[in-house]
């Protein structure tokens, strides 16, 4: 063999070359830098520009942070300490910490209450957020939390929230009781309840019809207002015609339901909770409080402020708007034209206007629609409007989830003989909600950010505090980077963690194989 090669090839290697390390340029950090930062002239230019930008930002911001003054009484003192150097004046955060977090009216000796409420929020939210890893019984904490938090933040007597919770439990017990009754007993109950609610409804409708005619006469039939005039008259006549049949029908329906017990149980429970909340709540909690006083200093709603107000609005409105959004989405999917129409008009109207206009409504317009001399809290009005606003968006997200379900799921539920409520609760919603989690979380984050808009209607949330009492005080006149940066940081931490949680949850709920 070697002879043949000897003629044709000059040199043949007979042993293997020892392994060499790869060239410097093709390994380790150098390779990474070459591939990720300097591959080609375009990339190189971009890298250089990016590095220059980062350098500029660092050079600008580092001394600002590094020289920051943490201890000063006013912006002038701060500037004296800095003596011409660039530097932040973080002293404003120290000086006005309470204002930024709690607002300027919340009583100082009660700051521990919202703080505990916040810590409890983390505890109470955990079983709902990390349901897989915590015992199911801990959900009781989540259920108790709203009452505790209300008492801690608003103060007043503990017996009030306790009695509300007790009424809810009592109502549930009434529900169970009626459900478990013998049919003959229930028939008597259904007769009584049907009679009362039929009469009550007829009376209410009779009053309503009178009201409609009163409105129509007030509008008058001149010019353009002829249209609402006719509409209200028509509605009034309609109600006059149907108030007796409606009363009879509803009463009859409740009486009829004695056998299977659906309607009569619900109506009885409603009667029970109405009676307890309207007539028992005040006196009983008052008496209990005079026997065993368990009271915290009461704080009116208009004294809430700072980041606390944003947190209150955010948590309350998100938790209220999810169920409302589900109802709206189901209504929009319904095959009953009237209910579908109402939901579509509501959703499209709310999505078409900015939140600010709805807050204006809460601020100046809502009072006109309430009974004269009734006077309820601005914060409550704002909660109602923000909840309406976000529930429309959540409804659209959930509608997307419902539409994404294959039709077979609906048909399978039907073929199992489930009725609408069972099919929706057991088959449709669990899947649709799973699909819509990212969307719902997006809406929730957006809603939490939108709580800053209440500063426009002169409520003192964190932005309102900065723009009002802080920037306009003589001590901290027109300071902006430090305070707005702090507010931005707070929002960033909360919103970023929520969106990270949603991504984690999405991975947890993934049941298909990837």
CB of 383 or CB of 397, closer to another protein = 397
Q: How far is the CB of 445 from another protein (least distance, A)?
A: 7
Residues 157-186 that bind another protein (CB under 8 A): none
346/328 Cα distance (integer angstroms): 9
461 strand-pairing partners: 306
Q: Pick from 400, 415, 435, 453: which is nearest to 505 by CA?
A: 435
Residues 362-381 that bind another protein (CB under 8 A): 364-365, 367-372
Tokens of 206: 């009779």
CB of 189 or CB of 250, closer to another protein = 250
Q: How far is the CB of 494 from another protein (least distance, A)?
A: 8
Residues 220-279 that bind another protein (CB under 8 A): 232, 235, 238-239, 242, 246, 249, 252-253, 256-257
152/21 Cα distance (integer angstroms): 68
CB of 316 or CB of 453, closer to another protein = 453
136/493 Cα distance (integer angstroms): 28
Element (H, E) at 195: helix 183-219
CB of 144 or CB of 246, closer to another protein = 246
3-class DSSP state for residue 152? helix
Q: How far is the CB of 479 from another protein (least distance, A)?
A: 9
CB of 333 or CB of 452, closer to another protein = 452
CB of 30 or CB of 140, closer to another protein = 30
Residues 428-447 that bind another protein (CB under 8 A): 445
Q: How far is the CB of 388 from another protein (least distance, A)?
A: 13
Q: Would you count residue 116 as binding another protein (CB under 8 A)? A: no
Instruction: Report the largest interatomic distance among the alpha carbons of the chain, rounded to a whole angstrom.
Output: 123
Q: Do 89 and 72 touch, CB atoms closer than 8 A?
A: yes
353/389 Cα distance (integer angstroms): 9
Q: How far is the CB of 356 from another protein (least distance, A)?
A: 5
Q: Would you count residue 204 as binding another protein (CB under 8 A)? A: yes
**What are the C-alpha distances in Å from 211 to residues 21, 198, 241?**
93, 20, 14
513 strand-pairing partners: none
CB of 22 or CB of 220, closer to another protein = 220
101/487 Cα distance (integer angstroms): 10
Q: How far is the CB of 43 from another protein (least distance, A)?
A: 5
Residues 21-40 that bind another protein (CB under 8 A): 35-37, 39
411/417 Cα distance (integer angstroms): 10
CB of 39 or CB of 297, closer to another protein = 39
Q: How many residues bind another protein (CB under 8 A)?
A: 77
Burial code of 337-355, b = ≥16 C-beta within 10 A, e = fewer? eeeeeebeebbeebeeeeb
Choice from 360, 405, 410, 438 touching another protein (CB under 8 A): 360
**Contact window for another protein (CB under 8 A) among 88-96, 97-105, 182-190, 206-214:** 206-214
Q: How far is the CB of 52 from another protein (least distance, A)?
A: 11
**What are the C-alpha distances in Å from 422 to residues 332, 415, 416, 429, 477?**
18, 12, 10, 10, 61
CB of 67 or CB of 499, closer to another protein = 499
Residues 335-354 that bind another protein (CB under 8 A): 335-339, 342, 349, 351-354
């Amino acid at each position: 063999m070697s002879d043949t090669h000897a003629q044709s090839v000059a040199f043949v290697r007979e042993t293997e070359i020892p392994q060499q390390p790869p060239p410097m340029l093709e390994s380790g950090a150098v390779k990474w830098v070459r591939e990720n930062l300097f591959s080609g002239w375009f990339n190189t230019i971009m890298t250089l520009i990016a590095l220059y930008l980062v350098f500029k930002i660092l050079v600008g911001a580092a001394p600002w942070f590094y020289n920051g003054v943490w201890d000063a009484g006013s912006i002038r003192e701060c500037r004296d300490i800095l003596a011409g150097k660039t530097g932040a004046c973080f002293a404003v955060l120290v000086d006005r910490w309470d204002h930024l977090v709690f607002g300027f009216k919340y009583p100082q000796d009660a700051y521990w209450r919202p703080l505990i409420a916040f810590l409890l929020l983390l505890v109470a939210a955990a079983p709902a957020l990390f349901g897989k890893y915590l015992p199911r019984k801990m959900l009781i904490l989540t259920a108790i939390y709203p009452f505790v938090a209300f008492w801690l933040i608003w103060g007043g007597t503990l017996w009030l929230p306790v009695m509300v919770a007790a009424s809810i439990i009592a109502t549930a017990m009434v529900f169970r009781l009626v459900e478990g009754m013998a049919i003959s007993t229930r028939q008597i109950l259904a007769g009584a309840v049907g009679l009362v609610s039929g009469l009550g409804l007829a009376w209410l409708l009779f009053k309503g019809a009178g009201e409609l005619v009163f409105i129509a006469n007030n509008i008058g039939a001149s010019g353009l207002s002829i249209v609402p005039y006719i509409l209200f008259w028509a509605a009034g006549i309609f109600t006059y015609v149907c108030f007796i049949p409606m009363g009879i029908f509803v009463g009859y329906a409740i009486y009829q339901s004695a056998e299977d017990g659906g309607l009569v149980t619900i109506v009885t429970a409603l009667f029970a909770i109405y009676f307890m909340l309207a007539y028992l709540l005040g006196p009983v909690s008052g008496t209990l409080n005079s026997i065993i006083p368990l009271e915290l200093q009461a704080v009116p709603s208009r004294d809430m402020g700072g980041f606390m107000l944003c947190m209150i609005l955010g948590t309350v409105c998100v938790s209220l708007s999810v169920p409302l959004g589900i109802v709206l989405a189901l209504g929009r999917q319904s095959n009953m034209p009237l209910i579908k129409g109402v939901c579509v008009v509501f959703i499209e109207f709310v999505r078409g206007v900015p939140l600010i206009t709805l807050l204006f409504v809460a601020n100046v317009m809502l009072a006109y629609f309430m009974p004269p001399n009734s006077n309820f809290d601005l914060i409550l009005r704002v909660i109602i409007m923000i909840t309406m606003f976000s529930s429309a968006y959540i409804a659209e997200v959930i509608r997307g989830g419902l539409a994404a379900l294959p039709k077979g799921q609906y048909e399978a539920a039907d073929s199992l003989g489930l009725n609408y409520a069972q099919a929706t609760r057991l088959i449709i919603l669990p899947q649709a909600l799973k699909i819509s989690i990212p969307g719902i979380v997006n809406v929730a984050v957006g809603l939490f950010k939108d709580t800053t808009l209440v500063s426009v209607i002169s409520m003192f949330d964190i932005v309102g505090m900065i723009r009002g009492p802080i920037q306009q005080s003589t001590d901290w006149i027109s300071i902006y980077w430090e305070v707005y940066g702090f507010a931005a940081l707070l929002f960033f931490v909360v919103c970023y963690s929520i969106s990270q949680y949603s991504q984690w949850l999405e991975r947890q709920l993934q049941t298909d194989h990837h």
